[in-house]
Chains A and B, each alone.
Chain A
Amino acid sequence: MSTIEHALSRYRPLVDDWRSLIEACQRPLPLVVWANPVRLEHRRRLAVRLGYDEDADIADLLRGRGYVAEPLGWIADAWRVEGLERPGYTLENQLGLIHVQEELSLAPPVVLGAQPGERVLDMCAAPGGKTARIAVSMDNRGTLIANDVRPPRLRALRSNCERLGMTNVVVTSIDGTRFPLDAGPFDRILLDVPCSCEGNLRDTPKAAARGASRSIKGRSGLQATLLGRAWKLLRAGGTLVYSTCTFAPEENEVVLDYTLGLDAVIEPFAIPGLIGDSGIVEWAGRRLREDCRNLVRYWPHLNDTGGFAIAKIRKGSAC
């Protein structure tokens, strides 16, 4: 049994096509870049000066130097790129015309659906790729508080948001479990919690496999505490998106079941073009709340991506 197969064996009952999952996890992860609309005018000028049409997109510029770029089917202005070994060194990346991100990391901001002018919190924001996507959906308007407490990751968060020109982002470095309540209420909150990162198996197979087996249970307490705090910061009627890049029910449905009360509804959602599995309502002999089945788990083989789990939670009035 391979390291990966061993690390994932506890999920065998949850997966329809086990072989495909293991095979997918043994392939390297495709590289994905997206075009930053904030730098649209820069891109047009660059394209013209390079001899392209004004409307040439990032994929045209990358293809011009021999890279293969295929559009993602489910989100606009994002591509899988082959042959680009050091994307961080490209001029387009340096000037903020593109950002490199794992494909499924683009999904939580889509589910969050933030609008221009809203007050939004990204509670565990570093390194800032999802923050940037939220800022894009807000058309760089309103207030997007991007928080992370870990100093090295905070530097990456600031650096990425500044490079991409996200002017509606306020960066803070506050312990999320004690985030000040008077900073709220927020219309929407993204809680992309620290997790055991099983979904990164394709990126760093051995490290992820070792780390995951050790740290699943240790993370649940922090995740529940963060969710409890975020819930207090959300306005009635607001939307919270809880996401992890891991498969473990202990870090997903069990945390939701333990933390959420009667004023929470886990809503169904689907992203056209992305295939996901329903959440589970029973794990390790424990019955979970029924709406946990509305969590969506994206296994790597379903879309040839990393792994992710996303829940969209609406706050009703307390009863």
Chain B
Amino acid sequence: MLTHFRRLQREPYVRWWTDRFGTPEGMFGDCSMWQRGKTTVWVAAPDVDPVAVHPVDGVGVPLLRVGGRAWKPTSIGLMHFGLHATRNVVELDLDEAACFLAGETVDLMPEDPRRRLPHRGFIVARSLGVPLGCAEWQTGAIRSVLPKGRRNPAADMPRILVA
């Protein structure tokens, strides 16, 4: 049976996100956070009111999976709140970004300075400064963990202007 969404105290989730990605204080503004069951935290407008409707399939956008031992940011959550990440973020060139979007793993050469990512775990994959989604950082490799339904096997990438 479906359970209702309940409004959460935001503090632990905002703190986790801010610590993990070095995003600015106050980035979440006055957003509300919601949960159904124990797995996913959703982020929504401050004044959204799903309470009188039942059953509800989603409130705002999914932000974090908190059901496992390690919390995992959602790709949608990172697309929305990963623009200003300063930690645990990797910048991909356009070819690497296309691989990432197709769901493939991007291997980094031994001398690649991007191998100096401090922590294993879930990171923001960005290209041209904009977040593409969630990746899992394993030593030397960036594994795409985009949901299958959001993968793009033949991404049409923008072109960089030639001066």
Give A contacts to B, CB under 8 Å.
Answer: 41-42, 45-46, 48-52, 61, 64-65, 86, 89-92, 94-96, 117, 119, 140-143, 145, 154-155, 158-159, 161-163, 165-174, 180, 182-183
The verdict on B66 contacting chain A, using a C-beta distance below 8 Å, is: no
Among the 9-residue stretches B13-21, B50-58, B105-113, B116-124, the one with 4 or more Cβ atoms under 8 Å from chain A is: B50-58
B60 within 8 A of A: yes
> In the complex, are the beta carbons of B48 and A65 less than 8 A apart?
no
Contacts A45-B129, A64-B158, A182-B52 known; A162 to B61 CB distance under 8 Å?
Answer: yes
Are B156 and A142 in contact, with the CB atoms below 8 A? no
Residue on A with the closest CB to B5?
A170
Binary interface profile of B, 59-70, with partner A (CB < 8 Å = 1, else 0)?
Answer: 111100000000
Whole-angstrom distance between the Cβ of B98 and the nearest chain A Cβ? 9
Q: How far is the CA of A62 from the CA of B54 in the complex (A)?
A: 42
Contact present for A167 and B61 (CB under 8 Å): yes
What residues of B have a CB within 8 angstroms of the CB of A154 in the complex? 57
Interface positions, chain B 97-153, Cβ under 8 Å from A, are 97, 101, 128-132, 149-150, 152
| Smallest Cβ-Cβ distance to A119: which chain B residue | B49
Given the known interface contacts A96-B79, A165-B80, the answer about A170 and B154 at a Cβ–Cβ threshold of 8 Å is no
Using Cβ atoms and an 8 Å threshold, which residues of chain B touch A42?
Answer: 83, 130-131
Q: Which of the residues B45, B54, B58, B129 comes within 8 Å of A140, measured between beta carbons?
A: B45
- Judged by a CB distance under 8 angstroms, whether B43 is at the interface is yes
The docked-state distance in angstroms from the alpha carbon of A161 to that of B58 is 10
Interface contact B47-A143, CB-CB below 8 Å: yes
Say if the beta carbon of B159 comes within 8 Å of chain A: yes
Docked pose: A161 CA to B42 CA in angstroms: 13
Give bound CA distance, A216 to B154, whole Å.
39
Pair A91/B57 contact, Cβ less than 8 Å: no
Chain B residues near A140: list those with CB within 8 A: 45
Whether B57 pairs with A117 at a CB distance below 8 angstroms is: no
B153 to chain A, nearest CB (A): 8
In contact, B31 and A167 (Cβ under 8 angstroms): yes
B1 CB-CB contact with A under 8 Å: no
Min Cβ gap A55→B in Å is 15
The CA-CA distance from A191 to B61 in the complex, in Å, is: 24
Of the residues B53, B62, B150, B163, contact of A172 by C-beta under 8 Å: B53
Q: Is A158 within 8 A of B57, CB to CB?
A: yes
Cβ contact within 8 Å between B158 and A61 = yes
B156, A169: Cβ atoms closer than 8 Å: no
Alpha-carbon separation in the docked complex, A181 to B71 (Å): 38
Are the CB atoms of A168 and B60 closer together than 8 Å?
yes
18 contacts between A and B (CB under 8 A): A51-B163, A64-B158, A65-B156, A91-B158, A94-B132, A95-B131, A143-B47, A145-B53, A155-B149, A158-B58, A165-B79, A165-B80, A167-B80, A170-B53, A171-B56, A173-B55, A183-B52, A183-B53
